[in-house]
Structure 1
Amino acid sequence: MTTTMIPPLTTDGVASPPASTNSVAAQRRSVPAAILRYGLPPLISFVIAIGVWYAVSYLILSPARRFLLPPPHEVLIDSLLDPTHVGPMLDALVVTAKVSLVGFLFAALIGVTIGVVMSRGSFLERAIYPWAVVLQVIPVLAIVPLIGLWFGYGMVARTIVCVIIAIFPIIANTHFGLVSVDKGAHELFTLGKASMFQRLTKLEFPSALPSMMTGFRTASGLVVVGAIIGDMFFAKGQPGIGTLLDIYRARLQSDDLIAAIVLASLFGILVFGIFGVLNAMVNRRR
């Protein structure tokens, strides 16, 4: 004998929908709400920024000085939508992206290594950490002449600038993550007679990964800045977007200058966003 499940009745005698249906409906309702919550504020601020831009161009600057800040539609039509103008910018952006990628890889490799060495003991931490702070606080522009004198004015020098700017967050977050591993877990590995390599790869790195990803995300934004600075000061080889920025500034090509800044900013936002997603994925899996 089989029984038939009767859905519960509401107060007016109508059967209520299943719980799964309610959850699906709730999720569908939450999507537009999330879009409004997270998408509307940036959209409003973007519209306000464009309005301020137009106001400065047409209300503050005289027609003779309007070339200093062309209105947005002129930048869009004359630069971003003109293949003869945007083509060299995109080619230069590819060069800057390559420098950023190489610089980030070296910064990650060196930074993680230094963070691991610092975590091996308090003496090593006190001996190395001050030099890491020096790399963080030293004005990069002050040592650019030395970098060019020692390493030339090409891609190697640009990569070194990227590493100097981006390495500190990786060192600091890697070290913090490694020394924050639970002591009870360390004792279990000690009881299991784990080697130093096993302890590092199977306990410390997995536990420190969220902190390391935070360092990588911060460094991903800094490395783009470093690549652009390197482009501006080391002009040998293929020009990067920073090289074009310097050229447009010297020629007073404000529309191309603003367009190049927009492309560089979008590239930086894209890189930072990618690492933000990776960081969220790592934290979700934990």
Structure 2
Amino acid sequence: MSEHEPGSEPVHGQVETDDEEDKAGKGAALWTYIAPLITFVLIIGIWYLISYGRMDAVRRRTALPAPHTVFEDGLLVWEDRKGLKPILEALLVTSRVALIGLGISIAIGVLLAVVMNTAKWAERSIFPYAVIIQVTPILALVPLIRNWYGFGISARVVVCVLIAIFPVITNTLFGLQSAKEGHHDLFTLHHANWLTRLWRLEMPGAMPAFLTGMRIAAGGCVIGAVVGDFFFRQGEIGLGRLIDNYQKDTRIPELFTATIVACLFGIAIFLIVGWISNRTLKHWHESARNYT
């Protein structure tokens, strides 16, 4: 008599398929980390190729120094007026401006979106001006901002808000208006007032779109903080002003270092907001499950 009941033998084909799927999953996960590393190495290689293959010593020093020169003269130097120390001090100023601008953009943007969501006439009255702010070049507004807010930190914050507020408005408004008609009918059946409808139906449904807008606005605020430094130079020195000074003084390694730090700051802000989005939407919305 057989020791195994009929059908109790392991299905070897299924086991092999599961093993293959596990190996494929591990390979894909490993490639997720290897591919960016390969891209980074290629970029550094192209940088070296252009610096040493296409430029003489003078142009290499004044236009495109080699990566190791940027590392040695920019990242490894720590002095009061030279190297990484003044860059990090400027980063603190720029980050403060960017975060204040982001907070104001979120507050005003959400408020305007809620107002526009209450009635069609409100949307038609406000939204065109939001579009005008978005499409107007900041350079055209610099003289007005200078006359109203001076040359200091406040003017830089205004630049951040002007750049970042539009994605908050549009994404939040889209999310508020995306609630299903059947859900609205259910709230109407229970005689819910507009505040209950907003708080319990429209705002939860708008969270994915709002957080997407916040990610876009976060990047815009970093751009606004750096750009604002170029035009409004009174007060504490930010990254934009420092980059401009390095360019005028032909301190190219430090110029590259400050630019790289600004890029890393923008990436960090984007990732932090993305992490907040992922934690907020976790377990109940597909966008969080697909976010990496």
For residues 63-97 of structure 1, give each alpha carbon's deviation from its aligned partner in whole angstroms, at most 9, with x where no partner exists.
Answer: 12111110000101111121121011001101111
Q: Does 1:202 align with 2:200?
A: yes
Hey, what does 2:85 align to over in structure 1?
A: 87
Specify the alignment match of 2:33 in structure 1: 39
Q: What SS does structure 2 have at the residue aligned with 1:285? A: coil
Find 2:70's aligned residue among 72, 75, 90. 75
Residue number in structure 2 paired with 1:247: 245
Deviation at 1:280, TM superposition (A): 3.0
> Whole-Å Cα distance in 2 between the matches of residues 91 and 276 of structure 1?
26
| Distance across 2 between alignment mates of 1:11 and 1:115 | 57
Shift of 1:194: 1.6
**Superposition pairs of residues 1-286 of structure 1, within 5 angstroms:** 8-10=8-10, 30-36=25-31, 38-67=32-61, 68-84=63-79, 85-286=83-284
Secondary structure (helix, strand or coil) at the match of 1:164 reads helix
59-68 or 70-79: bigger deviation: 59-68
User: Aligned partners of 2:23 and 2:258: how far apart in 1?
Assistant: 40
SS for the counterpart of 1:116 is helix
**Quick one: which amino acid aligns to residue 46 of structure 1?**
F
How far, CA to CA, are the matches of 1:33 and 1:8 in structure 2? 33
CA distance in 1, matches of 2:267, 2:116: 31
Q: Which runs of 5+ in 2 are unaligned?
A: 285-292
Deviation string 1:30-59 (CA, Å, 9 cap, x unpaired) is 3453131x2232222211111111111111
Q: For residue 191 of structure 1, report the CA deviation from its aligned partner.
A: 1.8
Percent of counterpart pairs with the same letter?
Answer: 42
Runs (4+) off by over 4 Å: 25-29
**Offset from partner CA, 1:139-181 (integer Å, 9 cap, x none):** 0012112101110111110100000000000000011011111
The CA RMSD over aligned residues, in Å, is 2.4
Classify 1:70/1:197 alpha carbon distance in 2 versus 1 (closer, same or farther; 3 Å): same
Q: Aligned partner of 1:110: which letter? A: I
Distance 1:146 1:31, change over 3 A: same
CA distance, structure 2, for counterparts of residue 269 and residue 8 of structure 1 = 54
**Contact kept? 1:107, 1:166, Cα under 8 Å:** yes
Q: Which moved more, 1:203-212 or 1:193-202?
A: 193-202
What is the rounded CA distance, in whole Å, between the counterparts of 1:28 and 1:223 in structure 2? 42
What is the CA–CA distance in structure 2 between the aligned matches of 1:11 and 1:80, rounded to whole Å?
59
Q: Deviations over 1:227-283 (max 9, x none)?
A: 001112111111111110010011111100000000000010011112222333344
Point out the more displaced range, 159-168 or 269-278: 269-278
Residues 282 and 62 of structure 1: is their aligned pair in 2 closer, same or farther, counting only changes over 3 Å? same
Aligned positions, number: 275
In 2: Cα distance, 1:60 partner to 1:266 partner: 28
Tell me the distance in 2 between the aligned counterparts of 1:197 and 1:11: 58
Deviations 1:181-220 (A, max 9, x none): 1111111112222222111111110011001011001111
1:101 is displaced (CA, Å) by 0.6
Once residues 22 and 200 of structure 2 are traced to their aligned partners in structure 1, the CA distance between those partners, rounded to angstroms, is 38
Amino acid at match of 2:34: L
Secondary structure of the residue aligned to 1:61 is coil
